[in-house]
Amino acid sequence: MTAAEKLILHIEDNPELHDLVRHILGSRPHIKLISAYSIKEGVSQARNHRPDMILMDIHLPDGTGMEALNKLRQFPETEEIPVVALSSLATQMQIDEGLKEGFKYYITKPIDVPELLETVDRILDYKVET
């Protein structure tokens, strides 16, 4: 990766959603996307690769996104990585709880493409040239 490239880890158990996010982020050539399908794999990937941000599903085969966030906060190399929830849990109470627990942003599914891109750009401090 060059200095201008940014790394995003997407923790999601649905392969179709991995493909969708990869397609959406294809409009940002400076972003490299890596994937994980479980909390265990995601925490390992985060510790090994130290991504610039993490996109995380809330329902994973081995626990919840909140549990994963708590695990990430236990390691010095991952505790400061901004984590964005991507979830079909969309009540205001669920969103508020996720933000209170430490998610930087909370994006609901189905994914709003402009919202996802704006959130990624904001976190990575990337300016899209028009």
5-24 confidence digits (pLDDT tens): 999 999 999 999 999 999 99
Q: What range does the domain containing 19 cover?
A: 6-122
The verdict on residue 54 lying in a domain is: yes
The CATH number that applies at residue 33 is 3.40.50.2300
Task: Say if residue 74's pLDDT is above 60.
Answer: yes
The verdict on residue 128 lying in a domain is: no
The verdict on residue 67 lying in a domain is: yes
Task: Say if residue 129's pLDDT is above 80.
Answer: no
Please name which of 64, 45, 63, 41 lies closest in space to residue 53, comparing C-alpha atoms: 45
The verdict on residue 84 lying in a domain is: yes
d(CA 87, CA 108): 5
DSSP 78: T
The verdict on residue 1 lying in a domain is: no
102-119 confidence digits (pLDDT tens): 999 999 999 999 999 999
pLDDT of residue 120: 96
Please name which of 123, 127, 109 lies closest in space to residue 9, comparing C-alpha atoms: 123
pLDDT band at 66 (very low <50, low <70, confident <90, very high): very high
Domain count, the chain: 1
Task: Say if residue 79's pLDDT is above 90.
Answer: yes
DSSP 124: H
The verdict on residue 83 lying in a domain is: yes
The verdict on residue 127 lying in a domain is: no
The verdict on residue 44 lying in a domain is: yes
